[in-house]
Amino acid sequence: MSEPSNKSQSLPAISASILGCGLSILIANWQGSLWGIDFTELKVLILGSVPGITIAINKFFKHVYVRYSMGAEKREFEKQNQQKINKLRAALNDPLISPDDKEEFSRQYYEAIQADINIQDSNVSIVRD
């Protein structure tokens, strides 16, 4: 199974890296005081926290991307999958289907339920394959 390019991973990382590098440059070049406090002695300590801030920014951008960009695609997958589950449930409840067909529908039904779980967990790439 080939891995699709996952923009929900790369876009927030790029955004966070750009902001983290900019924050590092800003702190390293800081020469003044802020609110009457001189931060020149604390530069080393503040620079040490930049990777943590960058990771937090990455998590924030990832959440925003998944919520607003991937949300439309996820809702479409949920709708299609729910329609499939409803059709399979109706087919399984039909007393006129053969046992072989019932077994096949049952297998497809459980696959659709697993796909629904994957969609809820935001693992849409598994559903695409």
Q: Do 33 and 48 sit in the same domain of this protein? A: yes
The H-or-E segment that residue 33 falls in is strand 33-34
Q: Do 113 and 80 sit in the same domain of this protein? A: yes
Q: Do 60 and 86 sit in the same domain of this protein? A: no
CB 90 within 8 A of CB 97: no
- 118 CB-near residues (< 8 Å, 6+ apart): 124, 126, 127
Q: Do 5 and 47 sit in the same domain of this protein? A: yes
Q: Do 63 and 76 sit in the same domain of this protein? A: no
What is the number of domains present in the chain?
2
Query: What range defines the domain where residue 106 resides?
Result: 72-129
For each of the chain's 129 residues, which pLDDT tens digit applies? 334 455 555 666 676 777 777 777 777 777 666 677 676 766 766 777 777 777 887 788 777 777 777 677 777 888 888 899 899 898 888 888 888 888 998 999 899 888 888 777 765 555 554
Residue 121 gets which letter from DSSP? Answer: T
Per-residue confidence (pLDDT) for residue 11, from 0 to 100 = 61
Q: Do 112 and 86 sit in the same domain of this protein? A: yes
Per-residue confidence (pLDDT) for residue 9, from 0 to 100 = 58
- Rounded to 5 degrees, what angle do the CA atoms 95, 96, 98 make? 105
Per-residue confidence (pLDDT) for residue 7, from 0 to 100 = 54
